[in-house]
Amino acid sequence: MRFKKDKPFKIMQITDIQEIPAISPDTINLLEAAVEAEKPDLVVYTGDQIKGYGVTYKGKGRELETAVAKTIATLLEPVTKRNIPFAVTFGNHDRQVGISNHDQFYDIYKKLGDCVGEQAEGIEGGGTSYIPIKASDGSDRDIFNLYLFDSGTDAKGGGYEPFDTKIIDWYKKKRDELKEKNGAYVPSIVFQHIPMCEYYNVLKQVPKHTKGAIRAFRTHKNEYYVVGDTCGKDDILLEPPSIPNENTGEFDAISEKGDVMAMFVGHDHKNSFVGTYKGVDLGFTQSSGFNVYGNRTKRGVRMIVLDENKPGEYETYTRTYDELVGKKVTKPLFDYFSSKAPETVDAAIPMIEKALAIIVAVIVVIILLIKLL
């Protein structure tokens, strides 16, 4: 990738499309409108492009591969038909369809349009790569760099598996190689699916009954949070960051030399915010797919804009369905009820307990009334 003289380099992050073979027209309308409006130089897909769980992808072997490939090709068409380069990493749900990240990366994505970024040496699977953005003068000088990390999948017993330390080691090696080549650390941005444990450090813990407080689970069980002081006034926190069960030191690695300016993730569909912790911006991008839960017409994409003359700086903003397409959706009832559904099993448990308590209370009242009568 390379800057064009006197022009910004625009990156579009698309995350959690999580579509099925019967793709929602609202998803396509959002992606088409966003790409047409912003005309990005690069699109980065940060995981859960497909809803790998459930029964929507049928068959095995070639039949399954064909169904998945067709869905992905349709989802990427707003980008590929405009000959826009794209990069991809994976979420926890992509591989659940029964096709490995490695096979999806090489047998599907690498055969669609201009898929940039080569899988990191020594790292299994697909979706871990680096993409330097070079100077407009035609030299080999790297002005910025992008990292894509495969952040893993669900852990046995619930939650999410620890971040792979092999990727941390690979990142450190690549970071130092880029420094040796360019004479200084190259300003970089990281894209991955699952947020790091440190995302809670850009939130503010508050009492339970604080307006807008969101209940967290697992390692932050029974704690409540709102967006922190370093976040923007219009930033959105509607569900707790679903982080790995164990911290393996990813943040310590990316923050130790000052090269990484920011990280952007998806995973928790309703969140859209950027906060700063120890000099690194930690950003969430909302989901863009309409066949899975999300923040209704606030589904959208994120733009990251780089300036060749301002290395170490970037601009970011989101574009949403309501501003690009409108307020109407194809399946309003599904959209409404899916937005109210619990996001995870952990979130569902308190709701189930509350419902059972109400049922028990109603039964007790009925029994007392029968006795009185």
Q: pLDDT of 309-346, one tens digit each?
A: 999 999 999 999 999 999 999 999 999 998 987 666 66
CB burial of residue 117 (10 Å; 0-12, 13-18, 19+):
buried
Spatial separation of the C-alpha atoms in residues 346 and 215, rounded to whole Å: 10
Longest dimension (CA), the chain: 91
What's residue 208's pLDDT?
96
CA atoms within a 13 Å half-sphere pointing along the CA-CB vector of 49: 27
What's residue 356's pLDDT?
74
DSSP state string for 168-219: HHHHHHHHHHHHHHHSSPPPEEEE-SSPPGGGGGGEEE--TTSTT-EE--GG
**Unique residue bearing structure tokens 């399954």:** 64
Spatial separation of the C-alpha atoms in residues 342 and 335, rounded to whole Å: 14
What's residue 14's pLDDT?
98
At the second CATH level, the architecture of 9-341 is: 4-Layer Sandwich (3.60)
| List of the chain residues with pLDDT < 70 | 342-351, 353-355, 373
What's residue 364's pLDDT?
77
Within 8 A by CB and 6+ apart from 178, the residues are 132, 142, 145, 185, 186, 259
DSSP state string for 259-296: -EEEEEE-SSTT-BEEEEETTEEEEE-----SSS---G
Spatial separation of the C-alpha atoms in residues 178 and 182, rounded to whole Å: 6
pTM over 0.85: yes
What's residue 341's pLDDT?
75
Q: In terms of DSSP bridges, do strands 9-14 and 315-320 run parallel, antiparallel, or are they unpaired?
A: unpaired
